[in-house]
C-alpha cells in the first residue's frame, strides 16, 4: 500500500480518514489498544476469506471507507470492488493503491446491483450501523453466487459491558432508521449477540460456516491498560490475545469484544 501524506487542500472526507490510516496502516500510533484491536480484526477478516477462496476470486467490500481491506485483498490477487456511501473517497483509495486492480461502486448498500454475483462480500463493522440488520444481511446474500461467502465482523453484543439493545428483542427497529449509517461507535444501533447469528443467517438463506470471537479488553486497552500496553512486548500481547481466543464459549462470549462470522450461500 502506498504511503500518502496529509495535504491542506484535501477534501474533508480525506482529512477525516487520514488519522485512522495513521493508526491502522502507517504505524503512527497514539492509541495502542485501538491499533491492536484493528490488527486483530484485519487479520481475522483476511483469514476468514482466504481460508475458503483463492486469489482471483471476486470480492465486494461494502462500506469500505478508506479501502484498507480492499487494497490488502487486491495486493493478494483478488478482484476487488470497493463500495461506500462517500463517493469522494474513491480517489483517496486510488491514491493509496499501487498493486492490483480495484473497481469502484459507490452508493447505498441497500441499492447495489451488479450484472454478476460475487464470490464473496465483506461487511466489516457495518451491520451494527443499520436499523434492519436482518434485511441488510438478506440484501448482501443476493450479491453472492450459490456457494459464495459473506465475511462479517461486528462488535460482540454479549460482551459484559455492552449497553446497547439486542436486535431480536426490539419490537420495531424502524424507530432507528433516522439514526442509521452514521460512522464510528456513536453510530452503533444494535450489537448482535452470538446466539442471534444462526437465526439471522437462516432468514437470509445462508449457513454459518464459522463464528469466531476475538480481541480481549486487556490487550485493546478497554480496562485502562493503555499505559501498560505501551511497555509490554508485542509478542506477549499477541500471546495473551491467542490464549483468550481459546476460552470456553460461555466465557469468551462475555469477555471478548469482537465477533467474526463467515456465512455460506448453499448451492
pLDDT of the chain along its 267 residues, tens only?
999 999 999 999 999 999 999 999 998 988 898 999 999 999 999 999 999 999 999 999 999 999 999 999 999 999 999 999 999 999 999 999 999 999 999 999 999 999 999 999 999 999 999 999 999 999 999 999 999 999 999 999 999 999 999 999 999 999 999 988 888 878 899 999 999 999 999 999 999 999 999 999 888 887 777 788 888 898 998 999 999 999 999 999 999 999 999 999 999
CB-based contact 205:266 (threshold 8 Å): yes
DSSP character string of 123-191: EES-GGGSS-HHHHHHHHHTTEEEEEEEEEEEE-TTSTT--SPPGGG-S-GGGGGGGTT--TGGG----
Distance (Å, rounded) from C-alpha 127 to C-alpha 119? 20
Identify the pLDDT of residue 44.
96
| Rounded Cα–Cα distance for residues 48 and 151 (Å) | 7
Res 227: pLDDT: 83
Nearest to 109 by CA among 135, 90, 88, 91: 135
Would you state the cell numbers that stand for residue 230, as one nine-digit string? 505501551
Which residues, 6+ apart, have CB-to-CB distance to 127 below 8 Å? Answer: 133, 136, 137, 152, 154, 192
Q: What is the pLDDT of residue 185?
A: 79
Per-residue pLDDT at 182? 86
Distant-in-sequence, close-in-space partners of 187: CB < 8 Å, separation ≥ 6: 129, 179, 180, 181
Among 27, 98, 21, which residue's Cα sits nearest to residue 6? 21
Domain ranges of the chain: 12-264
Q: Within 10 Å of residue 95's Cβ, how many Cβ atoms?
A: 13
pLDDT at 266: 98
**What does the pLDDT read at residue 146?**
98
CATH of domain 12-264: 3.40.50.150
Q: What does the alpha-carbon distance between residue 25 and residue 66 come to, in Å, rounded to a whole number?
A: 11
**Euclidean distance between CA atoms 209 and 262, whole angstroms:** 5
pLDDT at 75: 97
Please classify residue 240 by burial: count the beta carbons closer than 10 Å to its beta carbon, then call 0-12 exposed, 13-18 middle and 19+ buried: middle
Query: Cα separation of 89 and 172, whole Å?
Result: 33
d(CA 30, CA 48): 28
Q: In whole angstroms, what is the distance from residue 153 CA to residue 261 CA?
A: 6
16 within 8 A of 10, measured Cβ to Cβ: no
Amino acid at each position: 500500500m502506498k504511503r500518502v501524506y496529509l495535504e491542506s487542500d484535501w477534501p474533508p472526507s480525506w482529512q477525516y480518514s487520514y488519522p485512522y490510516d495513521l493508526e491502522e496502516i502507517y504505524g503512527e500510533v497514539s492509541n495502542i489498544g485501538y491499533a491492536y484491536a484493528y490488527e486483530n480484526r484485519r487479520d481475522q477478516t483476511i483469514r476468514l476469506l482466504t481460508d475458503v477462496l483463492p486469489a482471483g476470486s471476486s470480492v465486494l467490500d461494502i462500506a469500505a471507507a478508506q479501502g484498507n481491506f480492499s487494497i490488502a485483498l487486491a495486493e493478494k490477487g483478488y478482484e476487488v470492488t470497493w463500495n461506500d456511501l462517500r463517493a469522494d473517497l474513491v480517489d483517496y483509495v486510488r491514491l493509496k493503491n499501487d498493486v492490483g486492480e480495484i473497481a469502484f461502486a459507490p452508493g447505498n448498500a441497500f441499492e447495489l446491483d451488479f450484472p454478476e454475483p460475487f464470490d464473496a462480500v465483506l461487511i466489516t463493522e457495518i451491520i451494527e450501523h443499520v436499523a434492519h440488520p436482518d434485511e441488510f444481511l438478506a440484501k448482501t446474500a443476493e450479491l453472492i453466487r450459490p456457494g459464495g461467502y459473506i465475511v462479517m465482523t461486528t462488535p460482540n453484543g454479549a460482551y459484559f459491558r455492552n449497553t446497547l439493545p439486542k436486535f431480536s428483542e426490539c419490537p420495531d427497529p424502524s424507530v432507528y432508521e433516522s439514526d442509521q449509517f452514521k460512522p464510528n461507535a456513536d453510530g452503533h444501533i444494535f450489537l448482535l449477540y452470538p446466539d442471534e447469528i444462526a437465526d439471522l443467517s437462516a432468514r437470509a438463506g445462508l449457513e454459518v460456516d464459522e463464528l469466531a470471537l476475538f480481541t480481549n479488553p486487556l490487550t485493546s486497552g478497554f480496562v485502562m491498560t493503555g499505559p501498560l500496553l505501551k511497555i509490554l512486548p508485542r509478542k506477549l500481547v499477541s500471546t495473551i490475545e491467542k490464549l483468550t481466543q481459546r476460552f470456553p464459549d460461555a466465557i469468551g462470549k462475555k469477555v471478548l469484544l469482537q465477533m467474526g462470522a463467515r456465512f455460506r450461500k448453499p448451492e
